[in-house]
Amino acid sequence: MLPNILLKTIENQEQQNKITKLLKECIVEPKDLNDALNKIDVFVKYTSEIFNNAADKRKAPNPGSVCYFLSYFWQIHDYKKWPILYSSIVVSLTDIGLWSYQASLTETYKFFYNLNEEIKSILTIHSGSPVSNWDAEHAFWNFRQVSGSPKPIDKPKETQIKTSEVQIVSALKVASFSIFDYIPPVCAKLIEVGIETETPGSTKGAKYEKLVCEIFKQLGFEVQYLGQGTGREPDLIAIHKVENVAFIVDAKAYANGYMLSASDDRAIREYISHYCPKLHKEGIKKIGFIIVCNSFKPGFENFMNEITWKTDIKRFILLTSDALLHLLAYKIKDQLPVNDIIEGLIGSGNEISAHNLIEKFDDI
């Protein structure tokens, strides 16, 4: 997919010569790890320029695929030396707590390469026989805790919600892949928790908040958890210092859709007046507010317009649970950097469904 889309961006002979030179320089085997990282950096910069300027991201080469693309060719040159950075490997290592998200794609491959070498060394000592890259790849495939079908969600329960005022969003069937092939099991039950009706409200709310908190961590944000038990506070603050961006996040575990109440109106204004000055002092210039819930009832438009007009909040977002899970799946599948995640959030309108993110990120 990546080379096909890359070649389709050619508009003249100069661009064709540039892409030809880029491919020749980058897919040849690196001399060492530093050379490999330099090749990744060059390729990422080239594809990022096209991707960032593209009106339709689906028709642009995704920089998140570069590590997989290049390492695939490097392994053809020397299968003993170069491990391929498959998305499935990232999922497996995440599932068992070995993966750590990095600030850039070059750092991602460096982390993966060194971790893979350490894993092979430990397994070789353990087994008493040499362990190859292929052995490690297949071993960790067997450690995956997710399947190809979206089993974590009990869809019949979701379809029991029949209130006409509630916008039920479920776009799983129109994505080009199963998001549950990539979402870690610790995060997969977000929608299921949101539609529970038998669990006491406070228990259900705390469970839902912690899942939302974990997902924002997996997305690459620095997260301050302020959920239940900490007084009148938002549930979390998600910060990305490199971009000077923060989101104040409130998670609402409402089974039949969330509607803004007078008390919630007051609480949100308090959160904003309290945390915006604190974040500004920390050097955060751009602050957004996100409410996460399975679905939302009408009536937010005037409130959101007033908040963005009269406060320091730059963007007010209603984000469905389904959309948040899709965002995480695209993050892991395509190794999206956090700035792409932020762009996906602020560039998809005030009410974000899974469909909005599929249109933005899916390689159709």
**What pLDDT does residue 220 have?**
92
Interior angle at CA 240, CA 236 and CA 245, nearest 5: 85
**What pLDDT does residue 71 have?**
93
**What pLDDT does residue 39 have?**
94
**What pLDDT does residue 174 have?**
60
Please state the domain count of the chain. 2
Encoded tokens for 199: 């669990």
Rounded to an integer, what distance in angstroms lies between the CA atom of residue 43 and that of residue 36? 11
**What pLDDT does residue 313 have?**
95
Q: Domain boundary at 109, 141, 173, which?
A: 141
Q: Is residue 245 part of a domain?
A: yes
Task: Name the DSSP class of 291.
Answer: E
Q: Is residue 163 part of a domain?
A: yes
Residues 198 and 232 in one domain: yes
Residues 172 and 298 in one domain: yes
β 351-352/236-240 pair status = unpaired
Around Cβ 2, how many Cβ atoms within 10 Å? 18
Interior angle at CA 49, CA 112 and CA 240, nearest 5: 55
Q: What CATH number has the domain bearing residue 333?
A: 3.40.91.30
Instruction: Provide the residue type at 269 as one letter.
Output: R
Rounded to an integer, what distance in angstroms lies between the CA atom of residue 44 and that of residue 104? 10
Q: Is residue 147 part of a domain?
A: no
**What pLDDT does residue 245 have?**
95
Q: Is residue 148 part of a domain?
A: no
Query: Which of 250, 249, 256 is CA-nearest to residue 195?
Result: 256
Residues 166 and 285 in one domain: yes
Long-range Cβ contact pairs of 156-159 (< 8 A, separation 24 or more): 157/192, 157/195, 158/191, 158/195
**What pLDDT does residue 151 have?**
40
Strand partners for 286 = 245
Determine the structural domain holding residue 295 and report its residue range. Answer: 155-361
Q: Are 120 and 129 in contact (CB under 8 A)?
A: no
**Burial call 149-166: b when 16+ CB within 10 Å, e when fewer:** ebebbeeeebeeeeeeeb
Residues 126 and 183 in one domain: no
Mean pLDDT in order along the chain per 10 residues (364 residues): 77 86 92 94 88 74 87 93 86 79 88 92 89 82 48 39 35 65 87 82 86 94 79 88 93 90 93 95 94 93 93 95 94 88 90 88 64
Backbone angles phi, psi at 319, to 5 degrees: -120, 120
